[in-house]
Chain A
Amino acid sequence: MKNLLSMMLLVLAQSVLANNPQYDLDEVTVEELSTTSYPLDPSANAIILFDIGSARFISEAGVGLRLEFTRKTKIKILTTDGTDAANRTLTLSVNGNRKEELRKLKAYSYNLLNGNIEKVKMAKDNVQKEHVHKFEDKIKFAVPNVRAGSIIEIEYVISTPFFGGLYPWFFQSEYPTVYSEYKIRTPEFLKYRPSIRGFINIESPPGEIVSEAIGGISSASTEVIMTAKDVPAFEPEPFISAKLNYISRINFELYDIAFIGQANMVPPLQNWADYDALILNNENLGGFLYGQKVMSKITKNWNLNSSVPEEIMENCYYLLKDSLKWNGRHFFFNTNSAKQIWKERVGNSAELNLMLILLLREYNIKADPILISTRDNGYIFESYPSLDQYNHLICRATIDDETIYLDLTGKGNAPGILPFQDLSLAGRDVLSHNWVSLEPAKSSQRKTFLQIQVDENMRLAGGGKINLTGYDALNYYERLFELNNELEQLATHYRQNFSSSEIKTVEFDNSKAIEGELGIKLNFSSSNHCQVLGNIISINPFVLENLDEPLFTSEERVFPIDFGYNTSESLTIQLTIPEGYSIKSLPEPSIISLPEKAGSIQYQCTDLGNSVLVNCKIARNKSVFTQDEYPIIKQFYELAIQKLSEPVLFEKI
């Protein structure tokens, strides 16, 4: 009894503390309304002064358990563009008769009018409900009387029967936030695992125990208050994966339901191995991997003409790629049986790759599923075990201790080259309970060989070839796949979209598609790489490179730089010395290296008598750099552009 009392006192103290008038609604001051800028972020169009949410469970007569999410937000509008913050959309999920409900929606705007505060309440006709489709309604409301300088306040309650993910909270948005708070109270019979993402500091003191009764069931519930202060606006940067990997937010997953005095309804899921077991015991995926007999029937009449495992693997990969169509959806398990999939010839991403696994196993090649999350879906956070982080399943084949990753959703990728979407740090081997790296073992290469002359109009003309591997080649193969493998069409596309030189002819060679290599032969002319200065000719030999657009422009970096894969580029250009001219000067040779061999630039010009040979190699041997390494990687590419911009000079003899 004494314990309970002290606990209640504690809760009381907590609520008094949280009851800071600064975060109350209807406390707008003339000072706040007079503010015109936000010193922490001079470019802000609006500031979220506070954004306070809470979630707790209630029981409603005739409806049962529901989660009640309450939110109050106060926003200062600084510019005309910031008035967008007064147009709000709330999404309400619907599933048959079960739907989320919006209650107690109120909004106000405040403005200074001749030194006095004018307060306008949002009316009914400022709110519209839209039936988007059968799973979703939207409430759209426009707070009235809002302009640069206004303050708006919004409060509402959403009651939801869907609480498998509790109610997620974003601490960060497109506007800077002065104070963000989320209070969750979860009953002891529902266990949630939180997962916090992002790059800002979120205060999360240990939870307090609160006694309550929910629908007649008493519960020692846990109440946690998470807060963040002075949160900067979220701004995407180049070379990041999904936005969701970087924005500061909290998600939850329900992992256990246990009523007091009763056996657990489902075994609690504590770690990744528990989830592995759950996935494998699932009748869909588990049943697929162990129970399907359809493959032997399918392969009965096939003759793969090979006993070499690598060739069998390649043949299986291409055979299925030709016969099965991806329906465009990423999924980490199947919803149809192998028989159905084969009949329909269509499947989700997991179904396609599971078919491949079965097929390879039929030919005694070791093949296992690897569960991953695509780049757009976000990295898997290993410290937060949960099922909803996965969205895709790929195949790993093992031949003589060599592993080859295969994914039939790719367009035009060779075996062993995963679609770029799959390059998302790590995947899960659910059979052996291990994480595996998805980083490609080999760099993507681009090798350019060109011969260039100065033509009679004093412009550059020339030709040569480019050999591509890995993801550099895949870009073209993806396009080619869409064009029914018509090389002529790909050439037309290339010609029309090339901007730094005028392409005369271009030919693609896809004879090494199975190794993921591509060849390009081309002839071109350029009107802006050759400069005549009296008896001097100044030439930039890198006619196919775009040296004007830097990779990085910002001076600071918040997020890590994720290129996805390594690259290695080599350019060999033979430049004929024009008749009647001799070399005046050549760029100095140069070697630039990144620390720990993460990258290098090697540049050299050689006088061959009748011509100049320009050689340049640029390699980046690391695919993810931390934000601290940003200045170095930025400078690396700046130096590369600077070096490549140096001219070769000829002079009239």
Chain B
Amino acid sequence: MNSKTIFCWILLCHCFLSFSQNTVIHKDVSGVVVKSEGKATYHHYKKWTVNNEAQKEHGYLLLPYGNFREIKNLSLNIYDAHGNRIKKVKKSDFFDRSLSQGFEVDDSRGLFYMYSSPNYPVTFELEFEMKLNGLLFVEGWEPVFDYGVTIESGTFTVESPNDNPVKFKSYNLSPPLKTEESGSTIYTWTISKPFAAIASEAYSPALRNYTPAIQLAATEFKMESYRGHFKSWNGLAQWCESLLEGRSELSEETHAYIHQNFSGIEDPRERTKQVYKWVQSKTRYVSIQLGIGGWQPMPASEVDKNGYGDCKALTNYTRAALKAAGINSYYSLVYAGVSDKVDIAFPASSFNHVVLSVPLNGDTVWLECTDQKSPFGQMSPMTIGKYSLIVNGANSRLARVKSIDNENVYKTGFNSNLDLGNIAKPSMQSEISYSGLTYRQSLDLVELPEKKLREHFIENVAKPSTKINSIKAIRSGQVINLKCEFSNSGLIKTIGNQILISPAIFQPQFAVLPFDQHRKNDIAFPFGYQYTDTFCIALPADYKVTYLPEGQSVTNQFGTYDIQYKLDNETLTVIAFRELNSGTFTREDYESIREFISTSNNLMTAGVVLTKISDNIPLDNNPQLDSQ
């Protein structure tokens, strides 16, 4: 899928700042006139003022276009604070350049104009038309293009013929005015009173949850010669299927190879896994999407020959290979991004990526085919939990993407043994396990030479002056284990005849939230975090535990913290568990979340005291006695 055809026409800058002087859109008058199933015209007029240097990006223009989009009648005027026009910009003054990044091959292009203003405020007045050739995607309206942007007034009109009406869904807007003209219907939405800017705050939910927006979809559409409809999700699925037609054939040789090597594997799940691994070893991801190739995959036979392809091509190829091995699987559209773009009640072109779904004994395994290192069934954080359109003829349907561990959680576990045999030089054996989303991030550790692994350990886990005796990273299933033996005098603090120990020595702190009595937005944590810790100390023969903190345990909607201490004769074991949930919380919860994180961090500072046994001092047998 070609995500760049989605109409984003200002480079958004996500700086976590709030502004007292917002950018102000004085007027946004936009609209679409649909002429036929393959043709429409979009027109746009906007006048807005950028008030300060920090928001200068709000004046940087990028108008994307490409094979299916043509920009016409473009004009831009720029005015100073007194309303004097300081620049009149023609289409030829815009800088025309390709938008493909790195090794991407596609025909997305953009017209750029970046005006560097000597003074602020500065006002821009932009007007253009865009011819849409092919209506898979019809530009809607999202006038508030960033945090810190106010809109004073605006209208959006949609005109379409009654025999192919454009479907719409509006968000945070009053119902439209409907008028009819010979054979067509016009809807008009109006913003008549200023819509206040949404403040830019850390952990804010996506802007589109709050701002006015209109999503459009043609009832019937055509891209080149391929026809489809949006009467239901099935319409889009069937359209995709028509583009796949005749593109899933493998050469006889490959077919025979697959049959020979994989058909003998009894268990369908294992067979799927082996085919998937074979495809991974044979292919690489290269983004090539020219023309209709933005939606139509390269034939499986070409992927076979070239050993590369984009998400569509590699998914289609994996599907063909699985079919040759006797396994049915489905090409599945998904939106890969932080927040989902799919509104299940509104069938539209809301996807930018393709994955493969494989139904196995009632359970569906999802496969990411663009990643050669991805474990079988593990999906990327960008797709987990998103709605996916499973393309399967009349049985096409939406389903949520699942990952093998099906968790949006970054997990790290610590398992440590502290050796106090030599108190002057305490040493530690640790096994750190990375799982969940952290597993995918940590895969590279297995391939790192020891030198780099040591650097990783010092940088991310231990203190700088740690002496590492041995270190290695091992992968076992969906877990990366980092095993390390090291010593550091800072692991404990000795003072007189006492030893102070902080058991949760490696526990990462959750990022603290600042005090904020004026929080305006809700709080969104897209991912969860989970830390477990088991810490054992073999007590030196001549020492005794003289202070143990009390165990604590709290669970609420934000997460959990739990720390317990166990003491048997020679060993002290500390078990800690901390979790920060993903989810969206209301702004009223802000202070409670802040306090939860703070308390959870604080808990990890708890410590244990050991005291040297001396013949002269009588010992208290109950170590809990010292606690407050």
Contact = CB atoms under 8 A, between A and B. Distances in A.
A148 interface: yes
A527 B17 contact: no
B269 interface: no
B98 A145 contact: no
Contacts of B513: 502
Interface stretch (B160-168, B236-244, B425-433, B450-458): B450-458
B254 to A, nearest CB: 13
A637 B463 CA distance: 12
A503 B605 contact: no
A279 to B, nearest CB: 26
Given A328-B116, A531-B607, A645-B490, A550 B514 contact: no
A496 B514 contact: yes
B602 A527 contact: yes
Contact of B608 (A134, A327, A486, A533): A533
B514 A637 contact: no
B252 interface: no
A327 B116 contact: yes
Contacts of B609: 533-534, 536
Contact of B515 (A481, A502, A553): A502
Interface stretch (B67-75, B181-189, B303-311): B303-311
A131 B98 contact: yes
B598 A484 contact: no
B97 A146 contact: no
A80 interface: yes
A87 B97 contact: no
A554 B16 CA distance: 32
A642 B451 contact: no
Given A43-B449, A89-B103, A489 B96 contact: no
Nearest to B450: A42
Contacts of B448: 43
B98 A533 contact: no
A387 B174 CA distance: 63
Contacts of A584: 495
Interface in B551-599: 594, 598-599
A553 B52 CA distance: 40
Q: For the complex, would chain B's binding face be called helix, strand, loop or mixed by DSSP majority?
A: loop
Contacts of A528: 509, 601-602, 604-605
A500 to B, nearest CB: 8
Given A328-B116, A502-B514, A550-B458, A645 B463 contact: yes
A518 B549 CA distance: 43
Contacts of B502: 531
A43 B453 CA distance: 11
Given A79-B447, A553-B455, A501 B512 contact: yes
A538 B465 contact: no
Interface residues of A, number: 83
Contacts of A83: 284, 372
Interface string A501-544: 11110000000000000000000010111111111101000000
A493 B516 CA distance: 12
Given A133-B95, A144-B305, A536-B500, A325 B372 contact: no
B85 interface: no
Contacts of A447: none
Nearest to A79: B447
Given A132-B98, A147-B307, A535-B626, A496 B201 contact: yes
Contacts of B607: 531-533, 538
Interface in B437-495: 447-449, 451-452, 454-455, 458-459, 463-465, 490, 493, 495
A587 to B, nearest CB: 10
B118 A346 contact: yes
Nearest to A506: B514
Contacts of B372: 80, 83
B546 interface: yes
A556 B452 CA distance: 11
Interface in B612-628: 626-628
Given A488-B20, A638-B465, A645-B463, A495 B514 contact: yes
Contacts, number: 203
A324 interface: yes
A84 B495 CA distance: 55
Interface string B94-119: 01111010110100000000001111
A400 interface: no
A300 to B, nearest CB: 21
A66 interface: no
Contact of B282 (A147, A324, A642): A147
Nearest to B202: A496
A641 interface: yes
Contacts of A327: 116
Contacts of A132: 97-98
Contacts of B454: 555
B61 interface: no
A492 B18 contact: yes
A144 B308 CA distance: 7
A432 interface: no
B52 A483 contact: yes
A538 B606 CA distance: 10
B321 to A, nearest CB: 15
Given A327-B116, A531-B607, A550-B459, A80 B20 contact: no
A87 B287 CA distance: 10
Contacts of A14: none
Nearest to A504: B515
A19 interface: no
B103 A489 contact: no
B451 A637 contact: no
Contacts of A482: 52-54
Nearest to B605: A531
Nearest to B53: A482
Contacts of B62: none
Contacts of B117: 325
B307 A642 contact: no
Interface string A552-576: 0111100000000000000000000
Nearest to B625: A534
Contacts of A388: none
A319 B626 CA distance: 68
B464 A638 contact: yes
Contacts of B118: 323-325, 344-346
A603 to B, nearest CB: 15
A498 B514 contact: yes
B116 A637 contact: no
A338 to B, nearest CB: 16
Contacts of A496: 16, 201-202, 514
Given A484-B54, A496-B202, A147 B281 contact: yes
Interface in A134-162: 134, 138, 140, 142, 144-148
Given A489-B18, A534-B609, A140 B103 contact: yes
Contacts of B96: 133-134
B490 A642 contact: yes
A287 B512 CA distance: 58
A649 interface: yes
Given A486-B20, A502-B515, 13 more contacts: A87-B286, A126-B306, A345-B119, A459-B598, A482-B52, A482-B53, A489-B54, A492-B18, A499-B512, A502-B594, A532-B606, A548-B463, A637-B464
29 contacts: A43-B449, A43-B452, A80-B281, A80-B284, A80-B372, A80-B373, A89-B102, A134-B96, A144-B305, A147-B281, A325-B118, A325-B119, A483-B53, A489-B19, A489-B20, A495-B515, A496-B16, A496-B201, A502-B594, A527-B601, A531-B607, A532-B606, A532-B607, A533-B549, A533-B606, A641-B463, A641-B465, A642-B464, A647-B493
Interface of B: 16-21, 51-54, 95-98, 100, 102-103, 105, 116-120, 201-202, 280-284, 286, 288, 290, 305-308, 372-373, 447-449, 451-452, 454-455, 458-459, 463-465, 490, 493, 495-496, 498, 500, 502, 509, 511-516, 546-547, 549, 594, 598-599, 601-602, 604-609, 626-628
